[in-house]
Amino acid sequence: MSRWVVDQQAARDIAFVAHVGDITDSGDKSVQWQRASVAQRILDDGGVPNAVVRGNHDVRPGPILFDQYFPPSRYAARPWYGGYLGDLGDVVADAGLNDRNRDSYQLVTAGGVDLLFVELDVDPSAAQIAWAGRVMDAFPLRWVVLTTHKFLSKTGARFPSGQAIWQGLVYPSKAGTCRKILFVLSGHVPGEGRRSDANACGRSVHQLRSDYQGRPNGGDGWLRILEFQPAAGLVTVRTYSPKLGRYETDPNSQFTVPVGSLS
């Protein structure tokens, strides 16, 4: 999957790769972290901006190995890496907290659109959610893609932590202005799901769930491609497997959503 992204970066104008969590199956096993790190390093070495978030499998009882394999130092020299919760060198107040790279953000410009990618840890606390809000408020002109592992359930309802993110971060307005969040990406529950809801300003926020770990061979390499079409105000979502060399085209796997003007 990582090699395919690097090989396709120029032809497809790939701007960013977001990992939706469960980097490992057993977060206390070093060998799984080693393999995941090698796979992600292909993106790093290929010059593809990317980020990871922890899933529930990554925080199971045992050593917290995420901090060892995906620390801030892994990304600090990248020009697109904005910072993390605890970064004293960025422009966002951290309220005395230091979560290292468990909560982070990236700044990318593609197709003439300034984007802000924000990653929140699985089941984030109120303090983590508040920090994400300060990040978005620090870059008010950028359009936001938010990633967290656990957001939408199989029924399409939000998990309690997902609802806390929605109410505390995505939905609210301040002085009649809302944060410019386009998407909330998540995994956790095998399969695909989506919903779109208006924020307090009436703009739709698209919430997507994709998780293929229950499919044959650990997922058969299925991944999601979000194709931005700024001039048309649309984003087309496609589901593709580099391993199988084919798209999945049912309505849950391939669809187009309106995002409006991104100028």
Spans of all domains in the chain: 2-258
Burial state string for 55-90 with b = 16 or more CB within 10 A and e = fewer than 16:
bebbbeeeeebbeebbebebbeeeebbbbbbbbeeb
- Tell me: pLDDT of 169 over 90: yes
* Cα 54–Cα 135–Cα 159 angle in degrees, nearest 5: 45
Q: What is the pLDDT of residues 9-26, one digit of tens each?
A: 999 999 999 999 999 999
The pLDDT score that the predictor gives to residue 212 is: 96
The tokens for 174 are 């301040």
- For domain 2-258, the question of CATH label 3.30.1490.20 is answered with no
Band (pLDDT 50/70/90 cuts) for residue 190 is very high
Q: Collapsing DSSP states into helix, strand and coil, what is residue 30?
A: helix
Query: Which helix (H) or strand (E) segment is 6 a member of?
Result: helix 2-12
Question: Residue 60: pLDDT band by 50, 70, 90 thresholds?
Answer: confident
**Could you give the percent of the chain with pLDDT greater than 90?**
96
Per-residue pLDDT tens digits for 115-131: 999 999 999 999 999 99
Q: What is the mean pLDDT of residues 170-185?
A: 96
**Over the chain, what is the mean pLDDT?**
97
* CA 73 from centroid of its chain's CA atoms: 19
Residues near 49 by beta carbon (within 8 Å), at least 6 away in sequence: 15, 16, 17, 78, 80, 106, 108, 117
Integer Cα distance of 235 and 257 in angstroms: 5
Q: What integer is the mean pLDDT of 54-81?
A: 95
pLDDT score of 63 more than 90: no
pLDDT higher than 90, residue 61: no
**Residue 263 pLDDT > 90:** no
Q: Within 13 Å, how many C-alpha atoms sit on residue 93's CB side?
A: 6
Q: What pLDDT is attached to residue 149?
A: 98
How confident is the model at residue 62, as a pLDDT? 80
